[in-house]
């Protein structure tokens, strides 16, 4: 307790130097947590949007010929539903989707699209498919995204001609009615595609009872019995997105390390300078009976107190920022969704106990270590040499 009181008096007596060190540590602490929380928030938003809106929480079952990155595989990627999922479809825990290539002609222009058929009553994907029900006009109802509407100049109530090719390769066409335009952050369910009732697309393509992919609400156990189907879990479906998040985390960790080094350098320099300038003080303390170990402890406590005060100041100053990032978020420039990132217009930070406690604990331990390392030179001092300032 005596060492703690003495260390506290020394800190207060140092005046401006102490508070400058505390400010540097506090700002580094705030920026470290803020930056890491933003990256974690982006990862959470991307994962949540992609699973809930595009893939389903349980992954998907794909036709063996289907490749989401190769449009040329779509025409041959269809087969009857696997028997294992019939019960899941009946209980709305699976959503079959039939995908066909098509062409529309907005304002006399030709635009290649994908026509996707899905049950209007499905509950696996967070899409407003309940809007695509037959209306009074008797025309096939179609759901499109806002990006698709902007690109094509379509509005609710518009009639548009869709041309497609059926299972035998015969071209056909019909008018569909745009009944709803959805706003979604996931552009892979929006751009260059329209959604219509599954039964309608199956009848139009002569592919009754068939699908291209089946979205699942829960992970599929084992593998489909039919060789025509392959189960794709979320690790497979989210690989590209997870790789991007890892690269963001790497960049964030580099910045995390730079801020960490700046904070520790402030403490290290302060300790080195204190030992250099306060040799007579150390000699006096030794002459008064304070052991070398206690002198080392005194200087280590002083350095550690910088960290404790900085953490308290960091939490006080940073809490409003963390609160705003969690509740209001950070508005990103318009057009970011053009890069295919399912983030929407706002990024929200995530500042969980693991991040706050982990960063505080790690930084405090390192501050204690950095405070101790320069004090090892004290063990070589003798009281007489220290009193003479040597």
More confident residue, 112 or 254: 112
User: Which of 201, 232, 263 delimits the end of a domain?
Assistant: 232
Q: How many domains does the chain have?
A: 2
User: Which of 197, 232, 267 delimits the end of a domain?
Assistant: 232
For residues 7 and 87, membership in a common domain is answered with: no
For residues 222 and 132, membership in a common domain is answered with: yes
CB 387 within 8 A of CB 284: yes
CB 98 within 8 A of CB 116: yes
Which range is least confidently modeled, 216-220, 294-298, 326-330?
A: 294-298
CA distance 285 to 294: 10
For residues 76 and 159, membership in a common domain is answered with: yes
Exposure string over 256-291, b if 16+ CB within 10 A, otherwise e: beebbeebbebbbebbeebbeebbebbbebbeeebe
For residues 164 and 249, membership in a common domain is answered with: no
For residues 381 and 351, membership in a common domain is answered with: yes
Tokens for 79, please give them.
Answer: 């087969």
Count CA atoms within 13 Å of residue 167 on its CB side: 16
Kindly state the helix (H) or strand (E) to which residue 103 belongs, with its residue range: strand 94-104
Domain assignment of residue 120, given as a range: 59-232
For residues 349 and 250, membership in a common domain is answered with: yes
Helices (runs of H) and strands (runs of E) counted in the chain? 11, 13
Which range is least confidently modeled, 25-29, 155-159, 204-208, 276-280?
A: 276-280
Q: What is the pLDDT of residue 61?
A: 93
For residues 130 and 38, membership in a common domain is answered with: no
Q: What is the pLDDT of residue 138?
A: 80
- DSSP-assigned letter for residue 175: E
For residues 378 and 264, membership in a common domain is answered with: yes
For residues 196 and 294, membership in a common domain is answered with: no
User: Which of 213, 232, 251 delimits the end of a domain?
Assistant: 232
For residues 92 and 34, membership in a common domain is answered with: no
Confidence of residue 271 (pLDDT cuts 50, 70, 90): low
Confidence of residue 1 (pLDDT cuts 50, 70, 90): low
DSSP string, 39-91: HHHHHHHHHHHIIIIII-TT-EEEETT--TT-GGGSTT--EEPPGGGHHHHHT
Confidence of residue 360 (pLDDT cuts 50, 70, 90): confident
Give the pLDDT confidence of 4-52 residue by residue, as tens digits.
777 777 777 667 777 877 887 888 888 888 888 888 888 888 888 888 8
For residues 193 and 245, membership in a common domain is answered with: no
Tokens for 44, please give them.
Answer: 């959470």
Give the pLDDT confidence of 183-208 residue by residue, as tens digits.
888 888 888 899 999 999 999 999 99
For residues 199 and 247, membership in a common domain is answered with: no
């Amino acid at each position: 307790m005596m060492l703690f009181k003495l260390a506290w008096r020394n800190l207060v007596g140092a005046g401006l130097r102490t508070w400058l060190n505390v400010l540097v540590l506090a700002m580094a602490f705030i920026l470290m947590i803020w930056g890491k929380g933003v990256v974690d928030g982006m990862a959470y938003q991307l994962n949540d949007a992609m699973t809930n809106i595009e893939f389903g929480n349980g992954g998907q079952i794909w036709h063996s010929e289907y490749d989401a990155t190769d449009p040329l595989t779509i025409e041959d990627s269809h087969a009857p539903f696997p028997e294992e999922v019939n019960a899941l479809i009946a209980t709305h825990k699976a959503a079959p989707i039939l995908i066909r290539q098509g062409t529309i002609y907005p304002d006399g222009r030709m635009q290649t699209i994908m026509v996707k058929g899905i049950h209007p009553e499905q509950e696996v994907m967070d899409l407003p498919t309940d809007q695509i029900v037959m209306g009074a006009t008797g025309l096939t109802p179609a759901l499109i995204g806002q990006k698709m509407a902007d690109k094509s100049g379509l509005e609710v109530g518009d009639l548009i001609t869709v041309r497609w090719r059926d299972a035998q390769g015969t071209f056909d066409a019909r008018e569909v009615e745009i009944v709803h335009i959805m706003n979604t952050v996931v552009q892979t369910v929006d751009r260059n595609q329209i959604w219509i009732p599954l039964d309608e697309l199956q009848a139009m393509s002569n592919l009754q009872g068939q699908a291209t992919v089946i979205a699942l609400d829960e992970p599929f156990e084992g593998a489909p019995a039919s060789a025509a189907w392959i189960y794709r879990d979320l690790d497979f479906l989210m690989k590209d997105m997870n790789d991007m998040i890892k690269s963001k985390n790497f960049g964030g960790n580099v910045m995390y390390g730079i801020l960490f080094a700046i904070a520790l350098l402030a403490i290290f320099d302060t300790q080195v300078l204190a030992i250099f300038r306060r040799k007579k003080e150390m000699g006096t303390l030794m002459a008064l009976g304070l052991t070398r170990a206690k002198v080392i402890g005194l200087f280590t406590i002083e350095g550690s107190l910088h960290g404790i005060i900085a953490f308290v100041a960091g939490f006080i100053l940073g809490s409003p920022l963390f609160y705003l990032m969690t509740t209001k978020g950070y508005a990103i420039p318009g057009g970011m969704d053009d890069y295919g990132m399912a983030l929407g217009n706002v990024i929200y930070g995530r500042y969980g106990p693991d991040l706050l406690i982990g960063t505080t604990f790690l930084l405090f331990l390192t501050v204690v270590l950095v405070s101790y390392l320069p004090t090892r030179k004290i063990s070589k001092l003798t009281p007489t040499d220290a009193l003479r300032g040597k």
